[in-house]
Amino acid sequence: MSGRSTPIRLVVSDVDGTLVRHDKTLHPETIKAARELREAGITLCLASSRPPRGMEMYLEPLGITTPHAGFNGGQIVASDNKTILDELVIPEDAAKQAVEHMTAAGLDVWLFAGSGWYVRSSDGPYVAHEAEVTRNTFTVVDDFAPYLGKTNKIMASSKTFDLVGQVESELQGLLGAVASVNRSSPYYCDVTNVDANKGHAALALAKIAGVPPEAMACLGDMNVDVPMLKVAGLSIAMGNAAESVKAAAMVITGSNDDSGWADAIRAHVLPKAP
């Protein structure tokens, strides 16, 4: 663990693969540890690749009344899940190029713009799964063109995981200067504004909370989480995290399917409470 002595006043946590188990439920110890954070005066915020409303089901069980960041930082909303506090959209030309490239590669492409989720078919390989997990509703459209100028996130999926990784790499080369491209899971590739990343999200949430970055702890499991681990005073990788994520963290905890999140909070965050 880091030898820094700055008290931790804010925890920013990823959701999938970190806060929740693979079945998308909260471990009982996670709920208890969130309560212990509140009792210690430490604020808890969420930052996810999910749309903001896709985190709503976890706010009440965890006692969260703070803003949260969706779309990897592309949209930050108040606890009412309606008031947008900060928003970044993808440049229209980059959005068009991403959609065309993903489609040509054979991925199923979705657009998120404002509070809308737009798909070309309800039969895509992960549409029903995403709707169930995030409790979000989608709209089937024939053409994405009307939404390309106001898109917060483009998401593409495939059951061929290697193809998702290939497209991620190709788009990083094509759009690296104008958009952020990262896999949020083995089967999802996300495109957001170049400044919409978990680092931006964590810093924006810290600013809203009035907490300096050195007093913030961040937890994550995927490469998309590395930017926030790099700006945190205390960075924690889950035991199920990719090796590159573990290498970027100060602390490695247990897996998300076990009590890894709660264990990290109790062993490394609560001892540094203000």
| 140-172 pLDDT tens trace | 999 999 999 999 999 999 999 999 999 999 999
CA-based R_g, the chain, Å: 18
In angstroms, rounded to a whole number, what is the distance separating the alpha carbons of residues 224 and 190? 9
Strands 108-113 and 153-157: antiparallel
Query: In the prediction, which pLDDT does 2 show?
Result: 40
- 10: tokens are 């804010």
Q: What is the dihedral of CA 77, 80, 81, 82, to 10 degrees?
A: -80
The pLDDT of 50-61, averaged and rounded, is 93
Query: In the prediction, which pLDDT does 70 show?
Result: 93
| C-beta contacts of 20-28 below 8 A and 24+ residues apart | 20/58, 20/256, 21/256, 21/257, 22/256, 22/257, 24/133, 26/58, 26/61, 26/62, 27/257, 27/258, 27/259, 27/261, 27/262
Query: In the prediction, which pLDDT does 135 show?
Result: 86
Query: In the prediction, which pLDDT does 1 show?
Result: 39
Average pLDDT of the chain, as a whole number = 94
| DSSP bridge partners of 113 | 116
| Of residues 130 and 114, more confidently modeled | 130
CATH of domain 92-193: 3.30.1240.10
122 has a pLDDT exceeding 70: yes
Q: Write the DSSP symbol of residue 64.
A: -
Share of the chain above pLDDT 90, in %: 86
**Segments making up each domain of the chain, as ranges:** 10-84+197-272, 92-193
| 173-217 pLDDT tens trace | 999 889 999 898 899 999 999 988 899 999 999 999 999 999 999
Angle between helices 92-105 and 161-175 (to 10 degrees): 150
Highest CATH level, class, for 10-84+197-272: alpha beta
CA angle (30 as vertex; 127, 58 as ends), nearest 5:
40
**Phi and psi angles of residue 159, each rounded to the nearest 5 degrees, phi first:** -80, -5
In angstroms, rounded to a whole number, what is the distance separating the alpha carbons of residues 264 and 64? 18
DSSP string, 115-128: TEEEES-TTSTTHH
Query: In the prediction, which pLDDT does 53 show?
Result: 87
Q: What share of the chain is helix, strand, coil (3-state, %, to 5)?
A: 40, 25, 35
pTM comes to 0.83
| 62-102 pLDDT tens trace | 999 999 999 989 899 998 888 999 899 999 999 999 999 99
pLDDT class for 3, splitting at 50, 70, 90?
Answer: very low
| 209-233 pLDDT tens trace | 999 999 999 999 999 999 999 999 9
The pLDDT of 39-45, averaged and rounded, is 98
